Amino acid sequence: MNQTRPVRDYIRTIVDFPHEGILFRDVTTLFADPRGFRMAIDQMLHPWAGQPIDKVAGLEARGFILGGAIAHQLSAGFVPIRKKGKLPGPVISEEYHLEYGEAVVELHDDAIQPGERILLVDDLLATGGTAAAGIRLIERLGGEITGCAFIVDLPDLGGHKRLLEMGMTVHTLCAFAGL
């Protein structure tokens, strides 16, 4: 009998990584399994199937893996939102706060045209800082965020609520309590 495992069952937890007290939700085990990976991609894009999406924006780095596959399935373009200094050519930048400081993400200044409909994707939604910065970049170029899709939600860290407060539609496949 072929039983379908939930996406959550493909994700391993690594204790005390990258710091003591952290339970790291590792999606590479999901990516490595052909059935699990296809299931995750299909479930992530499902709410937007049949809707006009011009581009999928993936947040560095695992969002690139997901975003490319989702863009292919939706027949949409793909644009990377990268850490500072990684994109060639003219970029726009957005600073955001992390637990232990600040970071910057960038987007090519011609990656999105005004009015284009964008789906933002990443593997994990924690505090929502990186996603919020990505949203601000897209909106600065005139893009319209159709929605945000993540595999894992860590609701205790407040990112889901933060994106909802920004007026975003948020779709996640599973949630884990704690850090």
The residues annotated as belonging to the active site are 62, 99
Helix/strand number for the chain, H first, E second: 5, 9
How far apart (Å, rounded) are the C-alpha atoms in residues 179 and 177? Answer: 7
**To the nearest 5 percent, what fractions of the chain are helix, strand and coil?**
35, 35, 35
Indicate if the alpha-carbon torsion angle 84, 113, 71, 96 is positive or negative.
positive
Please measure the distance between the N-terminal and C-terminal CA atoms of the chain and give it in whole angstroms.
36
- Beta strand 144-153 pairing with 170-175: parallel
Give the Cα-Cα-Cα angle 159, 160, 163 (nearest 5 degrees): 85
